[in-house]
Amino acid sequence: MAHGPYAIAKEDGVIFIENACPGDELELEIYDQRKDFAYAHIIELLEASELRAPEPPCKIHKICGSCQWQHIQYDEQLKFKQQNLTDLIPGVETPAIVGMDEPWNFRNKITYPVEVVGKTGRVKAGYFKRNSNELINVKHCPIQYSIFDEIMDALKEQMSTRGYPDKLIRHIMLRSNIDQSEILLCVVLRESMLDKEFRNKLRVDLNKIQEKFPQIVTTSINYNDLSTNVILGQKTEVHNGPGYITETFGGIKLEISTTSFFQVNTKQFLKIVEQIKSAILRTLSEEKGTSGSHKLLDLYCGIGTISLSLAKAIPELDITGIELVESAVENAKKNAEINQISTAKFIHGKVEDLASPEPSAQSPQPYDIVIVNPPRKGCTNKVLNDLGQLKFKQLIYVSCNPSTLARDAKHLEQFGFKIQSLQGFDMFPHSFHFETLAVLTRE
């Protein structure tokens, strides 16, 4: 398996094949021939690999863009992800990737694109077909919380009788806490198409669905008129409820709003945070001669999940979190108040501007430990160079993309950093994606 949706065959070059499994014997049709490699479709599965999953529970897994590896037995998926990590970051001993005991119904958030069908007015919502803009109307998704299927089915049926024009509704988002006792529903609209009639219809529909499913404690409307692939716009209006759901996460309470970033797999993220705690506690125990607080810098801190979890467990940490999204910073500050934590502060701004080697009132020096949890594109060279100039010994890097982690770790070698430990976590079962926790140290 490649680090992607493809299995690899070799004959006069490399052939990439979707929905194939190592050990399959296949008849193929090459549809894209390049100089050194090609892409192929499966015409016929002549002999199935013993690694294949016998009956994947999702009937559309071969075409849906969400799960690319559902046709492979789960234990084998973990082995392939482990091999991907070893291939991308060689020379570092890594334990087996941390999988899930039950790798289904784990997603705490979905965001479905929406389409209204022609003259019928039927509302479709789901995922896009792989490598296309064709929308699949999803009725059942086995990787998300099961209550989402029920809510979406009822909401689509209800909205299909209302005469909404196509393109008005861009997305429908659902997010839930881990016990599914609180759910947030958001409808993303093009505000330029929203007149008084459809605004009133939408409000009625939101009220009805909330009556039918009392677990929906917050409904909201987000406005996005931009012609980009960014889902949420800058403007969010709470229709009903407090504007958030409440999650209990490893001993802390978190308010999660429409625009808050929170990992989609709560159970696995808890495991990552526990391992971060262990790494920091080991470092502090090695510095037995020191006393007082230890300064920790948390970059791309979001709503403060990691910072506040650490502050609760390790009171001697003095934590500064930096985050670009202003609403996330407000969430983080509110979450600190809720949990009565005074040892963590949060700053709104670009990491590139505030993670500076020059001390300032907002970002004092020196730090003992730095955590980075960047987006898939990883850290910019400026951030990495600034980190190289900061006087600290331990860097904890949480990555959703091992390719950019490998690149950034290589960049940091020039400043004396080396990967001390590397651990993969299967945050996204049945896809090729996984999360990686790297601990880097320097003398």
CA dihedral 50, 82, 59, 115 (to 10 degrees): -160
Task: Please name the amino acid found at residue 330.
Answer: E
Count of CB atoms situated within 10 Å of the CB of 1:
22
Residue 64 annotated among the catalytic residues of the structure: no
Q: Would strands 216-223 and 183-189 be described as parallel, antiparallel, or unpaired?
A: parallel
Count of CB atoms situated within 10 Å of the CB of 402:
24
Q: Where are the beta strands (DSSP E) in 265-379?
A: 294-299, 317-323, 344-348, 369-372
Contact (CB, 8 A) for 424 and 97:
yes
Q: Domains in the chain, please, with CATH?
A: 6-88 (2.40.50.140), 109-252 (2.40.50.1070), 265-441 (3.40.50.150)
Contact (CB, 8 A) for 439 and 279:
yes
Count of CB atoms situated within 10 Å of the CB of 187:
22
Which residue carries 């594109």 as its tokens? 377
pLDDT tens sequence for the chain (443 residues): 999 999 999 988 899 999 999 999 999 999 999 999 999 999 999 999 999 998 899 999 999 888 999 999 999 999 999 999 999 999 999 999 999 999 999 999 999 999 999 888 999 999 999 888 899 999 999 999 999 999 999 999 999 999 999 999 999 999 999 999 999 999 999 999 999 999 999 999 999 999 999 999 999 999 999 989 899 999 999 999 999 999 999 889 999 999 999 999 999 999 999 999 999 999 998 876 555 689 999 999 999 999 999 999 999 999 999 999 898 999 999 999 999 999 999 999 999 988 877 666 565 567 899 999 999 999 999 999 999 998 888 999 999 999 999 999 999 999 999 999 999 999 999 999 999 999 999 97
Token digits of residue 106:
């784990």
CA dihedral 183, 188, 193, 194 (to 10 degrees): 20
Cross-strand pairs, 437:
398, 423
Q: Would strands 37-47 and 25-33 be described as parallel, antiparallel, or unpaired?
A: antiparallel
Which residue carries 């990590």 as its tokens? 85
- Give the model's pLDDT for residue 89: 96
Query: Which residue in 58, 67, 379, 400 is the catalytic one?
Result: 400
The gap from C-alpha 51 to its chain's centroid, in whole angstroms, comes to 27
Q: CA 125, CA 395: separation in Å to the nearest integer?
A: 41
pTM: 0.93
Count of CB atoms situated within 10 Å of the CB of 87:
12
Q: CA 390, CA 367: separation in Å to the nearest integer?
A: 8
Closest among 355, 357, 335 to 344, alpha carbons compared = 335
Token digits of residue 155:
């909401």
